[in-house]
Amino acid sequence: MFGKPKGYIFIKKRLEHTREPGFDLLGRDLTKIYFEALQLRLVPVLDIAIDNSSYLVLGKSKEVGSFIWDIDKQDTTGEIIPYKLLHPNEPDIEDFLDLLRSIIPRSA
């Protein structure tokens, strides 16, 4: 992955508002593949739309492997679950910077 996700979101059973991807160059119906891979799943949120109307999420299916898709907020069950809530002991960049600040002497 490109780094830590912004959090996680639970996808509803039916995706009614999310844009459909259609077919790929091999003729596979990506809508069916993507939607089945995302429905009723807790997925990582990579980015949030500026107007907060959708989430860019990371999905995974047997047919195509990992993929990124834009999910309409209406097709989710609520608010984003913070990354730290599911990974409480994993340090982030702020933890690292705090450690550096504590061991590097301050100049006068």
pLDDT tens per residue across span 43-86: 999 999 999 999 999 999 999 999 999 999 999 998 888 887 77
Residue listed under structure tokens 């990992």: 66
Radius of gyration of the chain (CA): 18
3-state DSSP assignment of residue 78? coil
pTM of the predicted protein model = 0.76
Euclidean distance between CA atoms 87 and 89, whole angstroms: 6
Query: Given a cut of 80, is residue 103 above it in pLDDT?
Result: no
